[in-house]
Chain A
Amino acid sequence: MGGLRLVSALGARTRPERPAGEPAGHKEIVDLLVDQLPRDLPPPGLVLLSYAAPDVNGNQTVASYLNMRTGGQAHSFAVSGQGLGGPFSALRVARAYAGEAGTSVLAIVECRTPDGLDAPQEATGVLLAFGGAAGPLVEPAAADRPAALLREHGRLLVVLGPTADPAALGVPAGADVHRVPAGGYCTSVWLALARHWTRWSATYPAIALCDTDPLHGTGHVAVLHGMRDGAGSAGAAGRAAAEGSST
Protein backbone atom coordinates (compact mmCIF):
# COMPACT_ATOMS: atom_id res chain seq x y z
CA MET A 1 0.00 0.00 0.00
CA GLY A 2 1.40 3.37 -1.05
CA GLY A 3 -0.01 5.25 1.91
CA LEU A 4 -1.98 8.42 2.28
CA ARG A 5 -0.09 11.63 1.54
CA LEU A 6 -1.29 15.10 2.46
CA VAL A 7 -1.35 17.50 -0.46
CA SER A 8 -3.46 20.31 0.96
CA ALA A 9 -4.81 21.41 4.35
CA LEU A 10 -7.35 24.23 4.44
CA GLY A 11 -9.36 25.74 7.24
CA ALA A 12 -12.44 27.94 7.50
CA ARG A 13 -14.35 29.65 10.25
CA THR A 14 -17.53 31.58 10.19
CA ARG A 15 -19.92 32.97 12.76
CA PRO A 16 -22.67 30.49 13.68
CA GLU A 17 -25.28 33.16 12.94
CA ARG A 18 -24.65 34.88 9.67
CA PRO A 19 -25.78 38.47 9.00
CA ALA A 20 -28.88 37.30 7.15
CA GLY A 21 -29.96 35.38 10.25
CA GLU A 22 -29.60 32.05 8.50
CA PRO A 23 -27.44 29.62 10.49
CA ALA A 24 -24.16 28.51 9.01
CA GLY A 25 -24.48 24.79 8.33
CA HIS A 26 -22.28 22.13 6.82
CA LYS A 27 -22.90 23.26 3.24
CA GLU A 28 -21.89 26.82 3.99
CA ILE A 29 -18.66 25.63 5.62
CA VAL A 30 -17.97 23.30 2.70
CA ASP A 31 -18.41 26.22 0.30
CA LEU A 32 -15.79 28.24 2.20
CA LEU A 33 -13.40 25.30 2.05
CA VAL A 34 -13.88 24.31 -1.57
CA ASP A 35 -13.37 27.90 -2.70
CA GLN A 36 -9.80 27.61 -1.43
CA LEU A 37 -8.92 24.32 -3.09
CA PRO A 38 -5.99 24.36 -5.50
CA ARG A 39 -7.33 24.59 -9.04
CA ASP A 40 -5.01 21.85 -10.22
CA LEU A 41 -6.30 19.27 -7.71
CA PRO A 42 -7.39 16.22 -9.73
CA PRO A 43 -11.03 15.18 -9.26
CA PRO A 44 -11.04 12.93 -6.20
CA GLY A 45 -12.07 9.31 -6.28
CA LEU A 46 -13.16 9.45 -2.64
CA VAL A 47 -14.98 12.27 -0.85
CA LEU A 48 -15.58 12.04 2.89
CA LEU A 49 -17.47 14.35 5.20
CA SER A 50 -16.99 13.95 8.93
CA TYR A 51 -18.79 15.61 11.82
CA ALA A 52 -19.67 14.93 15.43
CA ALA A 53 -23.21 16.31 15.43
CA PRO A 54 -25.77 16.66 12.65
CA ASP A 55 -26.13 19.70 10.44
CA VAL A 56 -28.26 22.61 11.58
CA ASN A 57 -29.83 22.88 8.15
CA GLY A 58 -32.22 19.98 7.71
CA ASN A 59 -31.33 16.82 5.91
CA GLN A 60 -29.19 18.04 3.02
CA THR A 61 -26.77 15.42 1.72
CA VAL A 62 -23.67 17.57 2.00
CA ALA A 63 -21.31 14.69 1.24
CA SER A 64 -22.99 14.46 -2.18
CA TYR A 65 -22.74 18.23 -2.54
CA LEU A 66 -19.02 18.18 -1.74
CA ASN A 67 -18.62 15.38 -4.26
CA MET A 68 -20.28 17.55 -6.92
CA ARG A 69 -18.19 20.60 -6.01
CA THR A 70 -14.96 18.63 -6.39
CA GLY A 71 -15.64 16.97 -9.73
CA GLY A 72 -18.59 14.64 -9.20
CA GLN A 73 -16.65 11.45 -9.84
CA ALA A 74 -16.13 10.19 -6.32
CA HIS A 75 -17.45 7.56 -3.99
CA SER A 76 -18.81 9.80 -1.24
CA PHE A 77 -20.36 9.42 2.21
CA ALA A 78 -20.15 10.75 5.74
CA VAL A 79 -18.33 9.29 8.73
CA SER A 80 -19.83 10.31 12.06
CA GLY A 81 -21.26 8.93 15.29
CA GLN A 82 -17.92 8.81 17.08
CA GLY A 83 -17.65 12.23 18.69
CA LEU A 84 -14.32 13.87 17.96
CA GLY A 85 -13.04 10.47 16.88
CA GLY A 86 -15.03 10.64 13.64
CA PRO A 87 -12.33 12.48 11.68
CA PHE A 88 -9.71 10.00 12.88
CA SER A 89 -11.84 7.12 11.58
CA ALA A 90 -12.45 9.02 8.36
CA LEU A 91 -8.70 9.28 7.98
CA ARG A 92 -8.52 5.52 8.46
CA VAL A 93 -11.12 5.09 5.70
CA ALA A 94 -9.20 7.44 3.40
CA ARG A 95 -6.04 5.44 3.98
CA ALA A 96 -7.88 2.20 3.25
CA TYR A 97 -8.95 3.56 -0.13
CA ALA A 98 -5.69 5.37 -0.93
CA GLY A 99 -4.63 2.93 -3.60
CA GLU A 100 -7.83 2.94 -5.63
CA ALA A 101 -9.06 6.49 -5.02
CA GLY A 102 -6.02 8.41 -6.26
CA THR A 103 -6.90 11.82 -4.90
CA SER A 104 -9.28 11.95 -1.96
CA VAL A 105 -10.69 14.74 0.15
CA LEU A 106 -11.92 14.79 3.74
CA ALA A 107 -13.97 17.70 5.03
CA ILE A 108 -14.35 17.91 8.81
CA VAL A 109 -17.18 20.26 9.73
CA GLU A 110 -18.75 21.55 12.91
CA CYS A 111 -21.69 23.85 13.44
CA ARG A 112 -23.05 22.22 16.57
CA THR A 113 -21.85 19.71 19.13
CA PRO A 114 -23.39 16.64 20.73
CA ASP A 115 -25.51 17.02 23.84
CA GLY A 116 -23.44 17.49 26.96
CA LEU A 117 -20.92 19.85 25.40
CA ASP A 118 -20.81 23.62 25.06
CA ALA A 119 -21.89 24.85 21.65
CA PRO A 120 -18.96 25.72 19.40
CA GLN A 121 -17.97 29.38 19.42
CA GLU A 122 -17.84 29.38 15.63
CA ALA A 123 -18.89 27.19 12.75
CA THR A 124 -15.64 25.68 11.54
CA GLY A 125 -14.30 23.30 8.96
CA VAL A 126 -11.13 21.78 7.62
CA LEU A 127 -10.53 20.25 4.24
CA LEU A 128 -7.69 17.80 3.81
CA ALA A 129 -6.76 16.66 0.32
CA PHE A 130 -4.72 13.52 -0.12
CA GLY A 131 -2.84 11.98 -2.98
CA GLY A 132 -0.41 9.16 -3.40
CA ALA A 133 2.63 10.76 -4.99
CA ALA A 134 4.11 13.51 -2.84
CA GLY A 135 3.66 15.09 0.57
CA PRO A 136 3.92 13.72 4.07
CA LEU A 137 2.41 10.41 5.02
CA VAL A 138 -0.69 10.68 7.20
CA GLU A 139 -1.71 7.75 9.35
CA PRO A 140 -4.14 6.98 12.12
CA ALA A 141 -1.97 5.62 14.89
CA ALA A 142 -1.83 3.82 18.19
CA ALA A 143 -0.76 5.66 21.33
CA ASP A 144 2.80 4.36 21.17
CA ARG A 145 3.43 5.78 17.71
CA PRO A 146 4.39 9.36 18.76
CA ALA A 147 7.15 8.06 21.02
CA ALA A 148 8.46 5.89 18.18
CA LEU A 149 8.44 8.88 15.82
CA LEU A 150 10.36 10.99 18.34
CA ARG A 151 12.99 8.29 18.67
CA GLU A 152 13.19 7.92 14.90
CA HIS A 153 13.37 11.61 13.97
CA GLY A 154 14.75 13.26 17.11
CA ARG A 155 12.10 15.96 17.00
CA LEU A 156 8.33 15.78 17.19
CA LEU A 157 5.48 18.24 17.54
CA VAL A 158 2.46 16.97 19.46
CA VAL A 159 -0.75 18.90 18.80
CA LEU A 160 -3.16 18.39 21.69
CA GLY A 161 -6.87 19.10 21.46
CA PRO A 162 -8.48 21.21 24.19
CA THR A 163 -9.52 18.16 26.21
CA ALA A 164 -6.62 15.87 25.31
CA ASP A 165 -5.14 13.89 28.19
CA PRO A 166 -1.39 13.79 27.42
CA ALA A 167 -0.64 11.08 29.97
CA ALA A 168 -3.32 8.72 28.67
CA LEU A 169 -2.31 9.46 25.10
CA GLY A 170 1.32 8.60 25.77
CA VAL A 171 2.74 11.96 24.77
CA PRO A 172 6.50 11.38 24.96
CA ALA A 173 8.77 13.52 27.09
CA GLY A 174 10.95 15.69 24.90
CA ALA A 175 8.31 16.41 22.28
CA ASP A 176 7.28 19.99 21.61
CA VAL A 177 3.62 20.51 22.46
CA HIS A 178 0.98 22.80 20.98
CA ARG A 179 -2.25 22.85 22.99
CA VAL A 180 -5.25 24.02 20.97
CA PRO A 181 -7.39 26.47 22.96
CA ALA A 182 -10.96 25.60 23.91
CA GLY A 183 -13.82 26.64 21.65
CA GLY A 184 -14.23 23.77 19.24
CA TYR A 185 -14.68 20.00 19.39
CA CYS A 186 -14.13 17.68 16.43
CA THR A 187 -12.34 20.24 14.27
CA SER A 188 -9.85 21.44 16.93
CA VAL A 189 -6.58 19.72 16.11
CA TRP A 190 -7.30 19.68 12.37
CA LEU A 191 -7.87 23.44 12.29
CA ALA A 192 -4.57 23.92 14.07
CA LEU A 193 -2.88 21.75 11.47
CA ALA A 194 -4.36 23.79 8.62
CA ARG A 195 -3.51 27.07 10.30
CA HIS A 196 0.11 26.29 11.10
CA TRP A 197 0.96 23.74 8.44
CA THR A 198 3.45 25.80 6.47
CA ARG A 199 5.57 26.63 9.49
CA TRP A 200 5.23 23.31 11.27
CA SER A 201 6.09 21.28 8.19
CA ALA A 202 9.23 23.34 7.68
CA THR A 203 10.21 22.89 11.32
CA TYR A 204 9.28 19.37 12.31
CA PRO A 205 9.98 16.04 10.64
CA ALA A 206 6.95 14.53 12.36
CA ILE A 207 3.69 15.74 13.90
CA ALA A 208 1.21 13.87 16.10
CA LEU A 209 -2.38 15.05 16.41
CA CYS A 210 -3.86 13.82 19.69
CA ASP A 211 -7.23 14.35 21.29
CA THR A 212 -9.36 12.82 24.03
CA ASP A 213 -13.11 12.82 23.77
CA PRO A 214 -14.57 14.42 26.91
CA LEU A 215 -17.79 12.45 26.43
CA HIS A 216 -16.26 8.97 26.24
CA GLY A 217 -12.71 9.43 27.48
CA THR A 218 -11.50 7.77 24.31
CA GLY A 219 -8.14 8.90 22.96
CA HIS A 220 -7.34 9.33 19.27
CA VAL A 221 -3.99 9.79 17.53
CA ALA A 222 -2.96 10.54 13.96
CA VAL A 223 0.57 11.17 12.77
CA LEU A 224 2.19 12.93 9.84
CA HIS A 225 5.77 12.24 8.90
CA GLY A 226 8.07 12.46 5.94
CA MET A 227 7.61 16.26 5.71
CA ARG A 228 11.06 16.87 4.35
CA ASP A 229 10.34 14.57 1.41
CA GLY A 230 8.14 17.12 -0.30
CA ALA A 231 5.85 18.66 2.23
CA GLY A 232 6.39 22.06 0.67
CA SER A 233 3.80 21.15 -1.95
CA ALA A 234 1.06 21.21 0.65
CA GLY A 235 -0.77 24.50 0.65
CA ALA A 236 -2.21 25.47 3.96
CA ALA A 237 -3.98 27.77 6.30
CA GLY A 238 -6.50 29.35 4.00
CA ARG A 239 -9.01 31.30 6.00
CA ALA A 240 -8.27 29.69 9.33
CA ALA A 241 -8.12 32.30 12.04
CA ALA A 242 -5.40 32.55 14.65
CA GLU A 243 -5.34 29.72 17.16
CA GLY A 244 -4.32 31.93 20.07
CA SER A 245 -1.26 30.24 21.46
CA SER A 246 1.17 28.82 18.99
CA THR A 247 4.25 26.74 19.18
Chain B
Amino acid sequence: MTTLNAVESFFPDTTVTVEERAAQLGRSDVKTHMHRTVHGLDRMHYDARLDLYDLVLPPARRILERVDPRSVRYLLYGHALHGARGAAPDTPQQIKHRLGIGHATAFAMTQQNCAIPLSAIDTAGALLRADGAAGATALLVTGEKPSPEVASAIDTVMIADGAAACLVSLDGPGAQVRSFATRTRGEYYQGLAGTREDFRSAAEMRPKVLWEIMREAVDRAGCTLDDIEWIIPPNQGYAFWEGVLDQEPAAGKVFFDNNRRFSHCLAADILINAATLLEEGRFSAGRPSMFIATGLGWTFSAMVVVPIPEVR
Protein backbone atom coordinates (compact mmCIF):
# COMPACT_ATOMS: atom_id res chain seq x y z
CA MET B 1 0.00 0.00 0.00
CA THR B 2 1.18 3.50 -0.81
CA THR B 3 2.16 5.44 2.31
CA LEU B 4 3.02 9.05 3.02
CA ASN B 5 6.01 8.69 5.31
CA ALA B 6 6.53 12.38 5.93
CA VAL B 7 4.91 15.70 5.05
CA GLU B 8 6.54 19.09 5.55
CA SER B 9 5.59 22.64 4.65
CA PHE B 10 7.46 25.93 4.46
CA PHE B 11 6.63 29.64 4.32
CA PRO B 12 8.79 32.74 4.21
CA ASP B 13 8.78 34.79 7.41
CA THR B 14 7.18 37.84 5.87
CA THR B 15 3.41 38.05 6.15
CA VAL B 16 1.00 40.48 4.53
CA THR B 17 -2.68 41.20 4.94
CA VAL B 18 -5.23 40.61 2.23
CA GLU B 19 -5.30 44.34 1.63
CA GLU B 20 -1.50 44.60 1.35
CA ARG B 21 -1.34 41.68 -1.06
CA ALA B 22 -4.26 43.11 -3.03
CA ALA B 23 -2.31 46.34 -3.44
CA GLN B 24 0.69 44.37 -4.74
CA LEU B 25 -1.56 42.58 -7.22
CA GLY B 26 -3.47 45.66 -8.29
CA ARG B 27 -6.83 44.29 -7.15
CA SER B 28 -9.84 46.56 -6.92
CA ASP B 29 -11.51 47.37 -3.62
CA VAL B 30 -14.46 45.20 -4.62
CA LYS B 31 -12.23 42.20 -5.32
CA THR B 32 -10.29 42.79 -2.11
CA HIS B 33 -13.51 42.88 -0.12
CA MET B 34 -14.59 39.64 -1.81
CA HIS B 35 -11.31 37.91 -0.90
CA ARG B 36 -11.75 38.85 2.75
CA THR B 37 -15.47 38.39 3.25
CA VAL B 38 -16.47 35.75 0.71
CA HIS B 39 -13.29 33.69 0.42
CA GLY B 40 -12.38 34.02 4.09
CA LEU B 41 -8.81 35.26 3.61
CA ASP B 42 -6.96 37.33 6.21
CA ARG B 43 -3.16 37.07 6.19
CA MET B 44 -0.68 35.17 4.05
CA HIS B 45 3.05 34.76 3.53
CA TYR B 46 4.72 36.55 0.67
CA ASP B 47 8.29 37.69 0.10
CA ALA B 48 9.20 39.09 -3.29
CA ARG B 49 12.91 38.55 -2.58
CA LEU B 50 12.58 34.75 -2.53
CA ASP B 51 13.10 32.71 -5.66
CA LEU B 52 11.47 29.39 -6.44
CA TYR B 53 14.27 27.34 -4.91
CA ASP B 54 14.26 29.37 -1.69
CA LEU B 55 10.64 28.31 -1.41
CA VAL B 56 10.55 24.66 -2.46
CA LEU B 57 13.82 23.30 -1.09
CA PRO B 58 13.39 23.77 2.71
CA PRO B 59 10.52 21.30 3.25
CA ALA B 60 12.22 18.72 1.04
CA ARG B 61 15.48 19.17 2.95
CA ARG B 62 13.71 18.64 6.26
CA ILE B 63 12.38 15.33 4.98
CA LEU B 64 15.75 14.24 3.64
CA GLU B 65 17.35 14.92 7.02
CA ARG B 66 15.24 12.09 8.44
CA VAL B 67 15.75 9.43 5.77
CA ASP B 68 18.55 7.90 3.78
CA PRO B 69 18.69 10.12 0.67
CA ARG B 70 19.90 7.13 -1.34
CA SER B 71 16.45 5.60 -0.90
CA VAL B 72 14.90 8.34 -3.06
CA ARG B 73 14.39 6.77 -6.45
CA TYR B 74 12.08 9.46 -7.89
CA LEU B 75 11.87 13.20 -7.45
CA LEU B 76 8.50 14.44 -8.69
CA TYR B 77 7.91 18.16 -8.99
CA GLY B 78 4.15 18.73 -9.13
CA HIS B 79 3.29 22.17 -10.44
CA ALA B 80 0.18 24.00 -11.53
CA LEU B 81 1.32 26.64 -14.01
CA HIS B 82 2.47 24.80 -17.09
CA GLY B 83 2.76 27.20 -20.01
CA ALA B 84 5.65 29.50 -20.71
CA ARG B 85 4.66 31.47 -17.60
CA GLY B 86 5.23 28.43 -15.39
CA ALA B 87 8.30 26.65 -14.08
CA ALA B 88 11.41 26.56 -16.26
CA PRO B 89 11.85 23.25 -18.11
CA ASP B 90 14.85 22.18 -16.04
CA THR B 91 13.28 22.91 -12.64
CA PRO B 92 13.07 19.25 -11.49
CA GLN B 93 16.72 18.71 -12.41
CA GLN B 94 17.72 21.82 -10.50
CA ILE B 95 15.75 20.70 -7.45
CA LYS B 96 17.26 17.25 -7.60
CA HIS B 97 20.84 18.48 -7.74
CA ARG B 98 20.36 21.17 -5.10
CA LEU B 99 18.94 18.50 -2.78
CA GLY B 100 21.96 16.28 -3.38
CA ILE B 101 19.97 13.38 -4.82
CA GLY B 102 21.47 13.35 -8.29
CA HIS B 103 20.92 9.60 -8.53
CA ALA B 104 17.12 10.00 -8.54
CA THR B 105 15.01 10.12 -11.69
CA ALA B 106 13.47 13.58 -11.64
CA PHE B 107 10.58 14.87 -13.69
CA ALA B 108 7.65 17.21 -13.46
CA MET B 109 3.99 16.29 -13.34
CA THR B 110 1.61 18.98 -14.46
CA GLN B 111 -1.42 19.92 -16.60
CA GLN B 112 -3.93 19.39 -13.85
CA ASN B 113 -3.22 22.79 -12.38
CA CYS B 114 -3.80 22.64 -8.61
CA ALA B 115 -5.13 19.08 -8.66
CA ILE B 116 -1.69 17.64 -9.47
CA PRO B 117 -0.41 16.62 -6.00
CA LEU B 118 -2.92 13.81 -5.60
CA SER B 119 -2.09 12.37 -9.01
CA ALA B 120 1.59 12.72 -8.16
CA ILE B 121 1.13 10.73 -4.94
CA ASP B 122 -0.76 8.03 -6.82
CA THR B 123 1.84 7.95 -9.60
CA ALA B 124 4.70 7.77 -7.10
CA GLY B 125 3.07 4.74 -5.51
CA ALA B 126 2.45 3.12 -8.89
CA LEU B 127 6.08 3.64 -9.95
CA LEU B 128 7.44 2.18 -6.73
CA ARG B 129 5.11 -0.82 -7.04
CA ALA B 130 6.15 -1.42 -10.65
CA ASP B 131 9.83 -1.23 -9.74
CA GLY B 132 9.44 -3.62 -6.85
CA ALA B 133 12.50 -2.21 -5.13
CA ALA B 134 12.22 -2.74 -1.39
CA GLY B 135 12.76 0.39 0.65
CA ALA B 136 12.70 2.77 -2.32
CA THR B 137 10.92 6.10 -1.93
CA ALA B 138 9.67 8.98 -4.04
CA LEU B 139 9.94 12.60 -2.98
CA LEU B 140 7.12 14.90 -4.11
CA VAL B 141 7.98 18.59 -4.16
CA THR B 142 5.37 21.33 -4.62
CA GLY B 143 5.42 25.12 -4.55
CA GLU B 144 5.52 27.87 -7.15
CA LYS B 145 6.67 31.42 -7.46
CA PRO B 146 4.71 33.02 -10.29
CA SER B 147 5.74 36.40 -11.58
CA PRO B 148 3.75 39.37 -10.22
CA GLU B 149 2.05 39.67 -13.61
CA VAL B 150 0.90 36.05 -13.55
CA ALA B 151 -0.20 36.19 -9.91
CA SER B 152 -2.12 39.33 -10.72
CA ALA B 153 -3.84 37.83 -13.75
CA ILE B 154 -5.24 34.87 -11.77
CA ASP B 155 -7.74 37.09 -10.02
CA THR B 156 -10.22 34.53 -8.74
CA VAL B 157 -7.77 33.66 -5.95
CA MET B 158 -5.00 35.41 -4.06
CA ILE B 159 -1.73 33.56 -4.66
CA ALA B 160 0.68 33.50 -1.73
CA ASP B 161 4.06 31.90 -0.98
CA GLY B 162 4.01 28.42 0.47
CA ALA B 163 5.57 25.07 -0.38
CA ALA B 164 5.28 21.48 0.76
CA ALA B 165 6.95 18.15 0.20
CA CYS B 166 6.06 14.60 1.06
CA LEU B 167 7.87 11.30 0.99
CA VAL B 168 6.01 8.40 -0.60
CA SER B 169 6.87 4.77 -0.03
CA LEU B 170 5.23 1.37 -0.10
CA ASP B 171 4.10 -0.12 3.18
CA GLY B 172 6.07 2.52 5.05
CA PRO B 173 5.49 3.86 8.54
CA GLY B 174 3.26 6.80 7.55
CA ALA B 175 -0.30 7.54 6.51
CA GLN B 176 -1.84 4.89 4.31
CA VAL B 177 -3.36 5.87 0.98
CA ARG B 178 -6.53 3.82 0.80
CA SER B 179 -8.02 5.09 -2.46
CA PHE B 180 -7.74 7.57 -5.29
CA ALA B 181 -10.51 8.75 -7.61
CA THR B 182 -10.13 11.28 -10.38
CA ARG B 183 -12.17 12.78 -13.19
CA THR B 184 -11.10 15.16 -15.95
CA ARG B 185 -13.53 17.28 -17.96
CA GLY B 186 -11.40 18.11 -20.95
CA GLU B 187 -13.95 20.39 -22.57
CA TYR B 188 -12.61 23.06 -20.24
CA TYR B 189 -9.01 22.63 -21.44
CA GLN B 190 -8.66 26.33 -22.23
CA GLY B 191 -8.56 27.18 -18.54
CA LEU B 192 -8.43 30.88 -17.85
CA ALA B 193 -8.71 31.57 -21.58
CA GLY B 194 -12.14 29.94 -21.64
CA THR B 195 -15.29 31.84 -22.44
CA ARG B 196 -17.70 33.30 -19.92
CA GLU B 197 -20.03 30.44 -20.82
CA ASP B 198 -17.26 27.92 -20.07
CA PHE B 199 -16.85 29.38 -16.58
CA ARG B 200 -20.59 29.39 -15.98
CA SER B 201 -21.08 25.78 -17.05
CA ALA B 202 -17.97 24.66 -15.17
CA ALA B 203 -19.33 26.21 -11.98
CA GLU B 204 -22.63 24.38 -12.52
CA MET B 205 -20.89 21.08 -13.18
CA ARG B 206 -18.44 21.29 -10.28
CA PRO B 207 -20.61 20.19 -7.31
CA LYS B 208 -21.92 17.13 -9.12
CA VAL B 209 -18.48 15.92 -10.14
CA LEU B 210 -17.02 16.62 -6.71
CA TRP B 211 -19.71 14.53 -5.05
CA GLU B 212 -19.08 11.75 -7.59
CA ILE B 213 -15.38 11.51 -6.93
CA MET B 214 -15.75 11.87 -3.17
CA ARG B 215 -18.24 8.99 -3.11
CA GLU B 216 -16.07 6.96 -5.44
CA ALA B 217 -13.05 7.50 -3.19
CA VAL B 218 -14.83 6.36 -0.03
CA ASP B 219 -16.36 3.38 -1.85
CA ARG B 220 -12.94 2.29 -3.00
CA ALA B 221 -11.53 2.80 0.48
CA GLY B 222 -14.27 0.67 2.00
CA CYS B 223 -15.74 3.42 4.15
CA THR B 224 -18.42 6.10 3.95
CA LEU B 225 -18.39 9.88 3.98
CA ASP B 226 -19.71 9.69 7.54
CA ASP B 227 -16.53 7.85 8.53
CA ILE B 228 -14.29 10.66 7.27
CA GLU B 229 -12.70 12.77 10.00
CA TRP B 230 -11.28 15.61 7.89
CA ILE B 231 -11.99 16.71 4.35
CA ILE B 232 -8.88 18.59 3.26
CA PRO B 233 -9.29 20.86 0.24
CA PRO B 234 -6.88 23.41 -1.21
CA ASN B 235 -7.22 27.00 0.05
CA GLN B 236 -9.18 28.39 -2.86
CA GLY B 237 -11.70 30.20 -0.66
CA TYR B 238 -15.04 29.19 0.86
CA ALA B 239 -17.13 30.27 -2.10
CA PHE B 240 -15.47 27.78 -4.42
CA TRP B 241 -16.87 24.87 -2.45
CA GLU B 242 -20.48 26.00 -2.19
CA GLY B 243 -22.94 23.22 -2.84
CA VAL B 244 -20.52 20.55 -1.64
CA LEU B 245 -18.41 21.28 1.42
CA ASP B 246 -21.17 23.31 3.06
CA GLN B 247 -23.59 20.40 2.67
CA GLU B 248 -24.06 17.26 4.76
CA PRO B 249 -22.30 14.91 5.22
CA ALA B 250 -19.26 17.08 4.38
CA ALA B 251 -20.14 20.19 6.34
CA GLY B 252 -18.43 20.50 9.70
CA LYS B 253 -15.50 18.27 8.85
CA VAL B 254 -13.77 20.47 6.29
CA PHE B 255 -10.36 21.89 7.16
CA PHE B 256 -10.66 25.56 6.25
CA ASP B 257 -8.36 27.05 8.92
CA ASN B 258 -5.53 27.74 6.52
CA ASN B 259 -7.62 29.87 4.18
CA ARG B 260 -7.23 32.80 6.54
CA ARG B 261 -3.55 32.28 7.37
CA PHE B 262 -1.94 30.99 4.18
CA SER B 263 -4.36 31.73 1.28
CA HIS B 264 -3.80 29.83 -1.96
CA CYS B 265 -0.32 28.39 -2.54
CA LEU B 266 -0.38 26.90 -6.02
CA ALA B 267 -0.44 23.08 -6.03
CA ALA B 268 0.97 22.98 -2.50
CA ASP B 269 -2.17 23.71 -0.45
CA ILE B 270 -3.28 20.18 0.20
CA LEU B 271 0.05 19.02 1.56
CA ILE B 272 0.41 22.27 3.50
CA ASN B 273 -2.93 21.58 5.13
CA ALA B 274 -1.97 18.00 5.92
CA ALA B 275 1.25 19.25 7.51
CA THR B 276 -0.74 21.69 9.66
CA LEU B 277 -3.10 18.97 10.87
CA LEU B 278 -0.13 16.77 11.71
CA GLU B 279 1.71 19.58 13.53
CA GLU B 280 -1.36 20.41 15.54
CA GLY B 281 -2.06 16.77 16.36
CA ARG B 282 -5.57 16.94 14.98
CA PHE B 283 -5.70 13.61 13.15
CA SER B 284 -7.14 10.65 15.03
CA ALA B 285 -5.02 7.56 14.56
CA GLY B 286 -6.65 5.04 12.29
CA ARG B 287 -9.53 7.28 11.22
CA PRO B 288 -9.78 8.06 7.49
CA SER B 289 -9.54 11.55 6.12
CA MET B 290 -9.96 12.72 2.56
CA PHE B 291 -7.91 15.03 0.38
CA ILE B 292 -9.84 16.68 -2.40
CA ALA B 293 -8.31 18.65 -5.23
CA THR B 294 -9.47 20.58 -8.23
CA GLY B 295 -7.53 22.16 -11.03
CA LEU B 296 -8.39 24.28 -14.01
CA GLY B 297 -8.71 22.23 -17.09
CA TRP B 298 -10.78 20.73 -15.14
CA THR B 299 -9.57 17.85 -13.05
CA PHE B 300 -11.21 16.72 -9.81
CA SER B 301 -9.58 14.20 -7.49
CA ALA B 302 -10.21 12.68 -4.10
CA MET B 303 -7.93 10.49 -2.02
CA VAL B 304 -8.71 8.70 1.23
CA VAL B 305 -5.78 8.44 3.63
CA VAL B 306 -5.52 7.02 7.11
CA PRO B 307 -3.08 9.26 8.96
CA ILE B 308 -0.82 8.18 11.74
CA PRO B 309 -0.27 11.36 13.75
CA GLU B 310 3.00 10.51 15.39
CA VAL B 311 4.75 10.29 12.01
CA ARG B 312 5.82 13.63 10.56
Whether A63 pairs with B111 at a CB distance below 8 angstroms is yes
Could you tell me if A93 and B89 are in contact, using CB atoms closer than 8 angstroms? Answer: no
Any B CB within 8 A of the CB of A133: no
Task: Contact check, A72 vs B184: say whether CB atoms are below 8 A apart.
Answer: yes
Q: Which of these, B87, B90, B187, contacts A68 with CB under 8 Å?
A: B187
Q: Is A77 located at the chain interface by the 8 A CB criterion?
A: yes
Minimum C-beta distance from A71 to chain B (A): 10
Restricting to A53-69, which residues have a CB under 8 Å from any CB of B? 53-69
> In the complex the two chains form, what is the Cα distance from A77 to B122 in whole Å?
12
Decide if A93 touches B127 in the complex (CB within 8 Å): yes
Interface residue total, chain B, C-beta cutoff 8 A: 45
A76 to B191, CA, bound (A): 15
B182 lies within 8 A of chain A by Cβ: yes
> Do A61 and B107 contact each other (CB < 8 Å), given the known contacts A81-B91, A114-B90?
no
Please indicate the chain A residues that have their CB under 8 angstroms from the CB of B190 in the complex: 60-61
Any chain A CB within 8 A of the CB of B192?
yes
A54 touches B93 (CB 8 A): no
The total of chain A residues at the interface (CB under 8 A) is: 44
- Is A81 touching B108 in the complex (CB atoms < 8 A)? yes
Binding site secondary structure of chain A:
mixed
Indicate if the CB atoms of A54 and B89 lie closer than 8 Å. yes
Could you say which of B75-83, B161-169, B271-279 contacts chain A? B75-83
A96 vs B90: C-alpha distance when bound (angstroms): 24
B110 and A77 contacting across the interface, CB-CB below 8 Å: yes
Bound complex: CA A79 to CA B189 (Å): 17
Q: Is the CB of A66 within 8 A of B186?
A: yes
Chain B CB within 10 Å, residue with most, of A49, A59, A67, A93? A59
B111 touches A78 (CB 8 A): yes
Q: Which residues of A contact B (CB under 8 A)?
A: 1, 27, 49, 52-69, 72, 74-83, 85-86, 89, 92-93, 95-97, 114-115, 215-216
